[in-house]
A and B are shown apart, each in its own frame.
Chain A
Amino acid sequence: MDEQALLTNYLIVGALLFGIGLVGFFSRRNMIVMFLCAEMMLQGVSVSLVAWGRYHNDWGGQVLVIFILTVAACEAAIALAVVLTLFHKSGKLDIAVWQQLREDNQAAFVDRDLSALAPKPAVQWPKLTPAGIEPDHDLEEVTHRSHL
């Protein structure tokens, strides 16, 4: 096999993974997806490192990828904790909620025609009580006289 060609091919695949991950990281607004994309960028780097390791006949590339795996695990743990915290505060996984860093004179980022795409509220169908079943009622309600 042509080692140099192999390296070239792997590097380009790595670059593609990295680039696609970048695009996803930039444009997707779901924080979970953003982290998927970040992991994808790490994958691109891992691929390149392994290729370089083979090209130089050096274990360093693979060892480094092992550490990348370790760090990625840590990162995922912390990131998920942070995402959960943020989610707890805003009720959304939307990264665009967190834009307080902007300058005073900057307009906030607003979604386009969000309402049109928002899921329609479920229709409140009338609830009928099936025959033979006791309807829900307030247990606190006085149903009998306490004295005659």
Chain B
Amino acid sequence: MFEIPILMVLIPAFPLAGTIVTAIFGKWLKHEAHWPVIVSIACSCALSLVLLSQVMHEVAANPLAVGWESTFELWNWTGVPEAIARPEFAAPAEGAAALPERLPFVVNVTLRSDPLTSIMLAVVTFVASLVAIYAVGYMHGDPGYWRFFTYIGLFVFSMTMLVSVSNFVLLYVFWEAVGLCSYLLVGFWYEKPSAIAAGKKAFLVNRVGDFGFVLGLFLIWTTYGTLNYHDADGIAGVLGQTRLATSGGFAAGGVATVICLLLMLGACGKSAQFPLHVWLPDAMEGPTPVSALIHAATMVTAGVYMVTRCTPLFVASADAQQVVAIVGATTCALGGVIALTQTDLKRVLAYSTISQLGYMFLALGCGTLVAITAGMFHLLTHAFFKALLFLAAGSVMHAMGGIIDMRRFSGLRKLMPYTHWTFLFGGLALAGVIPFAGFWSKDAILAAVHERGHDSTLYLALYWVGMITAFLTAIYTFRAFFLTFYGPLRVPHESGHHAHESPRTMTVPLMILAVFAFGAGMWLEGPGDLAGLLGQTPSLAYQSVPRAIEHGGSHLLVMTISTIFALSGVGIAAYLYLGDDASATRLASLLAPLYWLSYGKFFFDPIYNALFVWPLLMLAKASDLTDKYLIDGLVNLVGSVPPWIGARLRSLQTGMVQFYALAMVWGVVVLIVTLLVWPAIGASLK
């Protein structure tokens, strides 16, 4: 009944339809405006799961050397014949004739499905449906209720398209669409100046990354002569079967490095990696479901997805891979350190997101199949437990009357039992405590990095960075947990007498996510066989992607160390924040410079302000002054001429009827002279 192409089309089509319906009828639907979007996302989710099972079935049935993929062309979007001279790495698709001298530029709207895409689709739609249900309670009574659900629907559509398209141009289109939705949702409360500023910041910082990304696309185009992933129109796609089947089909050396670095720049922007991570914490100004959906679970994973998809390109450049790994590790440590001292609950989670994304990039930077699947594994588990944590934080915020500063409340475990328990599950998963989901995926990453470190000092160092960050993760997670839910019961006055557990629509998604945060890791590590499934993705099935480097036993060692680190982190947090307050303060004064740096978020914002924002602002001011005085002056000067002439001509309007007749006759005289007199006698006058 459900053919794969039909599923591929329906999965994005449902959210789009929901968006359109909400956009048109939202005003009249009022408090029921969530129905079209929730129903459509839920349908999309169900279909995604069907697709996933179909893909698993197909993969099991056809274990190919180059992976399994299925593409479905919807329509031809645009095309330019003979657009480029055939580049060196352009190749004919398998079984096609030799390529002509000049290649066309064709963009077909083609959807694809392969293990990577179908897994991403399932995660995105699943988390999105839970978040949408949660938002029914969270956004209740908001004047922009229908607008919110319109944006959510648009976002899910963009995200599903982003992972389904099979062309770099379309990837870029939906990459931007996701950025647009992010802007709209972060600045959702547009009457709040800080929300507007945060939306703007997210958009502008993403522009920097997108700039690199689009340059990377240009370079791919001039290097490979096509922008399709798959083989199409007789040309081998960038990540197509033909190219993957032959070794040496990819550009190496400088070009590969530049392409990868540019793509990585784009991924840095979207996935909030150092040095473009500054937008994500500010983006917490949006409604909490948005934080959960976009800035934790799904949108920021776009960068991870893209780098995973482009694995063969990265494999061609070891330098670029090292850069990815270093950026990942740096971000990972940075996020962890900053999260230690933040007092805003959502901000702690935001920095932890940055840190966890750093883990994923660290894994992708290792370049081995095991590491990449571990990165994707972490992406999945992270989507569950981070969405859970954000939604739980939102639940706290909801109850506290919009207050999220941990210094203002404490001891909420009696007040909000469901939130407390679900947050605990999320926290344990984030801290990587066995057997919660985060433990398995983080452990898989650390093991892969450790393996890579056997013959590389760099990766060994990165492994230890990751390990220490795991320790920090446990500390900051449980610091937030203890500060919020333990200690004496304190409630900010803003919450009034309404401090209560959240409604059912909010707690049920929390509980579902808690189940996943607990069990997803175990299941995917064991019977789910995520790694095996992902390995059948064309990009990852590429023969030049190194398989695991076999050093038996190291996995167990890593597991032991990370468990010790995680548990000791939890213990330290308990010691510092469950006992008297003084111990934490003493530690802070002991490490004053580090505390200062961490509390100030390493001062990225002031530094960026001084380096980029301020000079640009001055330039803009100068341009503004030039415009105001020079350009406007000139324009006004020109503009003042007609009024001046008019003022002079006003005196002609005497109101005497006869004067008007007289003026008319003067005109007639001029006409007679030019038309009759001059032609008749003008020639003979000379």
Contact = CB atoms under 8 A, between A and B. Distances in A.
Contacts of B655: 99-103, 106, 108-109
A105 B650 contact: yes
A26 interface: yes
Interface residues of A, number: 17
Interface stretch (B85-93, B533-541, B656-664): B656-664
Interface in A60-116: 95-96, 98-103, 105-106, 108-109
Nearest to B649: A103
Interface in A4-63: 22, 25-27, 34
Interface in B389-446: none
A108 B658 CA distance: 14
Nearest to A27: B658
- Per DSSP, are chain B's interface residues mostly helix, strand or loop, or mixed? helix
A108 B653 CA distance: 11
Contact of B654 (A22, A25, A27, A99): A99
Given A103-B650, A105-B650, A98 B665 contact: no
A95 B657 contact: yes
A81 to B, nearest CB: 17
Contacts of A99: 654-657
B684 interface: no
B648 to A, nearest CB: 12
B650 A22 contact: no
B651 A106 contact: yes
Contacts of A95: 656-658
A83 B655 CA distance: 18
Contacts of B657: 95, 98-99, 101
Contacts of A101: 653, 655, 657
Interface string B651-686: 101111110011001000000000000000000000
A101 B656 CA distance: 8
A106 B650 contact: yes
A100 B665 CA distance: 22
Contact of B653 (A22, A26, A102, A109): A102
A10 to B, nearest CB: 17
B662 A26 contact: yes
B673 to A, nearest CB: 14
A121 B247 CA distance: 122
Interface string B86-113: 0000000000000000000000000000
B658 A26 contact: yes
Contact of B656 (A22, A103, A105, A109): A109
B653 A106 contact: yes
A79 to B, nearest CB: 13
Contacts of A103: 650-651, 653, 655
Nearest to A101: B655
Contacts of A109: 654-656
Contacts of B650: 103, 105-106
Contacts of A100: 655
A24 B661 CA distance: 12
Contacts of B661: 25-26
> Which of A34, A102, A108 counts the most chain B CB atoms within 10 A?
A102
A114 to B, nearest CB: 16
A95 B654 CA distance: 13
Nearest to B659: A26
Contacts of A96: 656
A109 B656 CA distance: 8
A8 to B, nearest CB: 13
Of residues B651, B654, B656, B662, which shows the largest number of chain A Cβ atoms within 10 Å of its Cβ? B656
B256 to A, nearest CB: 76
A53 B585 CA distance: 117
Contacts of B662: 26
Contacts of A34: 658
A8 B653 CA distance: 38
A106 B649 CA distance: 11
Interface in B615-665: 650-651, 653-658, 661-662, 665
A127 B124 CA distance: 116
Nearest to B647: A105
A53 B657 CA distance: 34
A67 B686 CA distance: 43
A108 B654 CA distance: 8
Interface string A110-143: 0000000000000000000000000000000000
A1 B193 CA distance: 97
A17 to B, nearest CB: 15
Nearest to B650: A103
Contacts of B665: 22, 26
B41 to A, nearest CB: 66
A100 B656 CA distance: 8
Contacts of A105: 650
B645 to A, nearest CB: 14
Contacts of A25: 658, 661
A102 B650 CA distance: 9
Contacts of B654: 99, 102, 106, 109
B426 to A, nearest CB: 76
A106 B653 CA distance: 8
A127 to B, nearest CB: 44
Contacts of A98: 657
B664 to A, nearest CB: 10
A96 B653 CA distance: 14
A113 B657 CA distance: 22
Contacts of B653: 101-103, 106
Contacts of A27: 658
Contacts of B658: 25-27, 34, 95
B610 to A, nearest CB: 57
A89 to B, nearest CB: 15
A117 to B, nearest CB: 20
Nearest to B660: A101
Q: Which has the most chain A C-beta neighbours within 10 Å: B650, B651, B654? A: B654
A25 B661 CA distance: 9
Nearest to B654: A102
Nearest to A102: B655
Nearest to B655: A102
Nearest to B653: A103
A129 B534 CA distance: 135
A95 B658 CA distance: 9
Contacts of A106: 650-651, 653-655
B147 to A, nearest CB: 51
A101 B653 CA distance: 7
A123 B658 CA distance: 37
A103 B656 CA distance: 11
A25 B665 CA distance: 11
A122 B498 CA distance: 99
* 8 A-B pairs with the lowest CB-CB distances in the bound complex, closest first: A102-B655, A99-B655, A103-B653, A101-B655, A103-B650, A26-B658, A26-B662, A102-B654
21 contacts: A26-B658, A26-B661, A26-B665, A34-B658, A95-B657, A96-B656, A98-B657, A99-B654, A99-B655, A99-B657, A100-B655, A101-B653, A101-B655, A102-B654, A102-B656, A103-B650, A103-B651, A103-B655, A106-B650, A106-B653, A108-B655
Given A25-B661, A26-B665, 18 more contacts: A25-B658, A26-B658, A95-B657, A99-B654, A99-B656, A99-B657, A100-B655, A101-B653, A101-B657, A102-B653, A102-B655, A102-B656, A103-B653, A103-B655, A106-B651, A106-B654, A106-B655, A109-B654
Interface of B: 650-651, 653-658, 661-662, 665
